[in-house]
């Protein structure tokens, strides 16, 4: 079993986060957001209001809210986003990010620096990092 002591103890979120992020205004339709996700091959979009990150829409949100709850596909993403946004600072320690993801039960954690989304950390990123060390 890997412990914080056996992995580089001072790995920071910014060292393994993914810089490929897509953000959309909260008025964008679910259909348009889904098309952007498909075109870019990502599993989440950050939702902005007045250029500030306020929520996230993941592939799971589409499955649950659009399909299971029968929301129309032209629903604005503000109605299906997860909010308030659970995020982390790029200079945070990776173990803090991991604990936050675990306790809040999120698989995608936006990385925010000075009210701007600078990256995203996923559970897959964490697993890959641990496996590589």
Q: What is the pLDDT of residues 67-83, one digit of tens each?
A: 888 899 899 999 999 99
Distance CA 67, CA 83 (A): 19
pLDDT of residue 115: 92
Q: What is the pLDDT of residues 11-47, one digit of tens each?
A: 999 999 999 899 999 999 999 999 999 999 999 999 9
Give the start-to-end residue ranges of the domains of the chain.
Answer: 13-132
Q: Which CATH number fits domain 13-132: 3.40.50.300, 3.30.70.980, 1.10.3720.10, 3.10.580.10?
A: 3.10.580.10
pTM for this prediction: 0.86
Cβ neighbours of residue 115 under 8 Å, at least 6 residues apart?
A: 52, 53
pLDDT of residue 31: 95
Max CA distance (Å), the chain: 49
């Amino acid at each position: 079993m890997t412990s914080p002591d056996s992995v580089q103890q001072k790995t920071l979120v910014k060292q393994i986060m993914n810089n490929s992020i897509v953000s959309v205004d909260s008025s964008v339709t679910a259909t348009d957001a889904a098309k952007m996700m498909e075109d870019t091959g990502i599993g989440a979009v950050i939702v902005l209001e007045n250029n500030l990150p306020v929520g996230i829409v993941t592939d799971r949100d589409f499955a649950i809210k659009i399909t299971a709850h029968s929301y129309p596909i032209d629903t604005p993403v503000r109605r299906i986003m997860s909010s308030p946004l659970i995020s982390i600072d790029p200079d945070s320690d990776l173990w803090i990010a991991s604990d936050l993801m675990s306790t809040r039960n999120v698989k995608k954690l936006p990385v925010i620096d000075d009210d701007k989304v600078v990256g995203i950390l996923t559970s897959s990123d964490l697993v890959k990092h641990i496996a590589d060390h």
